[in-house]
C-alpha cells in the first residue's frame, strides 16, 4: 500500500512538472500575443490596447525572466497610452471622464516607473480640477466648486489660481473671513511665481469687499469703523478712488477736517479728470474748509462742485450757508 502511494506521488509530481513546463511555454506565447494585440489596437482603440498591454505585462511577470523583454515593452507603453486617451477625452470636452483617466495615467506611471508621464499628469490634474470648479462656480454650484478647488490644491498646494477661484466662491456666499483667507493665499503664492494677474485680481476683490463693508458702516453712522475698513482696503489696493472718497466723507463726519482735505486731494488725483466726476471731492473739500472757518477756500471749492448731481447742494452752500461773493 505504501509503495502504491509512493508511485502515485511520483506520477503526480511528474505530471505537474510537465504541466508547468507546458504552461510556461504557452504563457510566453500568450504574453507576446497580448502585446502584439495591444500594439495593433493602439491606432484604433486605446482602451482596448491598454487592456491588452496590461494583460501582456501581467502574463510576462508571472512567466519570469524568460518573458522579461515583453514585460518591459508592455509596461513602457501603458502609462503614455493612458495619458493620450485621457487627452483625447479632454479635447472632446468630456472633463469628468478626462480627469478620471488622467488619474489612471498617473497611477500607471507610478506603478510602471514612468516619471515623465507622471510629471505631465501631476502638472495637468490641478488645472483640470480648476476648470471643473470654475464651471461649477459659473453655474452656482458652490459646494461642488469648493470640492474641485480643494482637489486642485491637494495636487498643488501653491496653486494661486485655485485659491483665487475658491475665494470667489466664498465671496458669492458672503463668507468674508473665508474669502479673505483664500485671497491672501492667492496673493502669497501668486507673488512667488510672478503671477501678476492673479495677484491683482485677488487684491482687487479683497479691497472692494472692504469698501462694500465700509459703505455699510457709513450708512449705519459708524464713521470710525468706516476709516478702519478703508485702511484695510488700501493695504490691498492703494489707488482706489472710492476708498479716498469714503475717507473724505468719514473724516468730515468726525470733524477731522485736515484728514478730510488730504483724502479729497488724493481722490482728485485718482478720479477721472472731468468737472462732473471731480465735483464730489471738491464738495467734501469745501465742507472741511468751511469746518475750519476758511470760507474763502470753501467758496472756491463749492463753486467747482456745483456741477452734476451735487450742483444743488453746492449752490446751497454758496448762496445760503456761506453767502459767497
Are residues 182 and 248 both part of a single domain? no
Are residues 96 and 158 both part of a single domain? no
Please indicate, yes or no, if residue 229 is contained in any of the structural domains: no
The average confidence (pLDDT) of the chain is 92
In order of 123, 157, 164, 191, the CA distances from 198 in angstroms are 18, 15, 7, 9
Are residues 49 and 140 both part of a single domain? no
Query: What CATH number should be reported for the domain holding residue 258?
Result: 1.25.40.10
Q: Cell for 284?
A: 467734501
CB 193 within 8 A of CB 159: no
pTM of the model: 0.84
**Tens-place pLDDT, residues 216-260:** 999 999 999 999 999 999 999 999 999 999 999 999 999 999 999
Residues 6 or more apart whose Cβ sits within 8 Å of residue 204:
236, 237
Are residues 98 and 7 both part of a single domain? yes
Which of helix, strand or coil describes residue 300? helix
Q: Cell for 271?
A: 478720479
Are residues 55 and 27 both part of a single domain? yes
Please indicate, yes or no, if residue 228 is contained in any of the structural domains: no
Q: Which of 79, 112, 145 is the last residue of a domain?
A: 112
In terms of Cα–Cα distance, which of 113, 24, 108, 35 is closest to 65? 24
Q: What is the DSSP string of 9-30?
A: HHHHHHHHHHHHHHHHHHHHHH
pLDDT of residue 9: 35
Number of domains in the chain: 3
Please indicate, yes or no, if residue 168 is contained in any of the structural domains: yes
Please indicate, yes or no, if residue 225 is contained in any of the structural domains: no
Are residues 103 and 127 both part of a single domain? no
**Tens-place pLDDT, residues 54-88:** 999 999 999 999 999 999 999 999 999 999 999 99
pLDDT of residue 3: 45
Are residues 72 and 129 both part of a single domain? no
Are residues 273 and 204 both part of a single domain? no
Please indicate, yes or no, if residue 288 is contained in any of the structural domains: yes
Are residues 118 and 108 both part of a single domain? no
In the predicted model, is pLDDT for residue 24 greater than 80? Answer: no
Please indicate, yes or no, if residue 61 is contained in any of the structural domains: yes
In the predicted model, is pLDDT for residue 105 greater than 90? Answer: yes
Q: Cell for 235?
A: 493695504
Please indicate, yes or no, if residue 226 is contained in any of the structural domains: no
Please indicate, yes or no, if residue 227 is contained in any of the structural domains: no
pLDDT of residue 10: 32
Are residues 3 and 107 both part of a single domain? yes
**Tens-place pLDDT, residues 8-22:** 333 333 333 333 333
Q: Which of 68, 84, 112 is the last residue of a domain?
A: 112
Q: Domain residues for 59?
A: 1-112
Are residues 121 and 104 both part of a single domain? no
Phi first, then psi: give them for residue 42, nearest 5 degrees. -60, -25
pLDDT of residue 27: 87
Are residues 34 and 79 both part of a single domain? yes
In the predicted model, is pLDDT for residue 6 greater than 80? Answer: no
Cα 211-180-202 angle, rounded to 5 deg = 80
Q: Which of 93, 112, 131 is the last residue of a domain?
A: 112
Amino acid at each position: 500500500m505504501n509503495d502504491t502511494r509512493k508511485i502515485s506521488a511520483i506520477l503526480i509530481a511528474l505530471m505537474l512538472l510537465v504541466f508547468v513546463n507546458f504552461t510556461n511555454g504557452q504563457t510566453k506565447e500568450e504574453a507576446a500575443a497580448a502585446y502584439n494585440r495591444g500594439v495593433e489596437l493602439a491606432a484604433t482603440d486605446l482602451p482596448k490596447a491598454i487592456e491588452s498591454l496590461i494583460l501582456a505585462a501581467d502574463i510576462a511577470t508571472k512567466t519570469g525572466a524568460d518573458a522579461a523583454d515583453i514585460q518591459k515593452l508592455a509596461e513602457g507603453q501603458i502609462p503614455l497610452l493612458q495619458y493620450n486617451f485621457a487627452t483625447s477625452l479632454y479635447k472632446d470636452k468630456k472633463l469628468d471622464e478626462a480627469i478620471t483617466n488622467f488619474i489612471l495615467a498617473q497611477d500607471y506611471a507610478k506603478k510602471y516607473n514612468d516619471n515623465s508621464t507622471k510629471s505631465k499628469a501631476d502638472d495637468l490634474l490641478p488645472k483640470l480640477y480648476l476648470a471643473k470648479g470654475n464651471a461649477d462656480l459659473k453655474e452656482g454650484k458652490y459646494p461642488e466648486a469648493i470640492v474641485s478647488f480643494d482637489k486642485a490644491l491637494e495636487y498643488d498646494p501653491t496653486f494661486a489660481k485655485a485659491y483665487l477661484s475658491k475665494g470667489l466662491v466664498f465671496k458669492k456666499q458672503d463668507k468674508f473671513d473665508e474669502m479673505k483667507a483664500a485671497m491672501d493665499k492667492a496673493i502669497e503664492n501668486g507673488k512667488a511665481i510672478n503671477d501678476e494677474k492673479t495677484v491683482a485680481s485677488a487684491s482687487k476683490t479683497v479691497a472692494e469687499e472692504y469698501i462694500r463693508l465700509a459703505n455699510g458702516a457709513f450708512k449705519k453712522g459708524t464713521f470710525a469703523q468706516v476709516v478702519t475698513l478703508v485702511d484695510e482696503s488700501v493695504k490691498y489696493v492703494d489707488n482706489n478712488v472710492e476708498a479716498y472718497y469714503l475717507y473724505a466723507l468719514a473724516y468730515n463726519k468726525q470733524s477731522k477736517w485736515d484728514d478730510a482735505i488730504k483724502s479729497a486731494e488724493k481722490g482728485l488725483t485718482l478720479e477721472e479728470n472731468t468737472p462732473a466726476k471731480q465735483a464730489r471731492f471738491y464738495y467734501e473739500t469745501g465742507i472741511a474748509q468751511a469746518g475750519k472757518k476758511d470760507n474763502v477756500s470753501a467758496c472756491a471749492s463749492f463753486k467747482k462742485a456745483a456741477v452734476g448731481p451735487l450742483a444743488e447742494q453746492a449752490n446751497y452752500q454758496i448762496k445760503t450757508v456761506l453767502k459767497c461773493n
